[in-house]
């Protein structure tokens, strides 16, 4: 899964993957990011590098101004 987002200015960003129960599976970004377009790949692995099960997950992108949540399906 490739996640793309644009930032109008440098700011703190948190991008994480959650399972259906609301447990955080993986943190993809956490810290300051430069202005501009960003692309982040999630390879279907948890925070310890283990492959996750097929199913539905949520991507949560939190910036200083907004929070975005998108549903994704991981299929093997």
User: Which pLDDT value is given to residue 18?
Assistant: 98
8 Å CB contact between 37 and 4: yes
For residue 76, the model assigns a pLDDT of 76
Do residues 55 and 25 touch, judged by C-beta distance below 8 A? no
Tell me the C-alpha distance between 69 and 62, whole Å: 9
DSSP state of 10: -
pLDDT, averaged across the chain: 96
pLDDT tens per residue, range 3-58: 999 999 999 999 999 999 999 999 999 999 999 999 999 999 999 999 999 999 99
């Amino acid at each position: 899964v490739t996640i793309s987002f644009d930032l109008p200015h440098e700011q703190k960003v948190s991008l994480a993957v959650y399972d259906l129960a609301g447990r955080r599976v993986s943190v993809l970004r956490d810290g300051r990011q430069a202005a501009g377009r960003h692309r982040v790949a999630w390879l279907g692995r948890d925070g310890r590098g283990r492959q996750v099960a097929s199913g539905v997950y949520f991507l949560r992108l939190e910036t200083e101004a907004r929070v975005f949540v998108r549903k994704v399906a991981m299929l093997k």
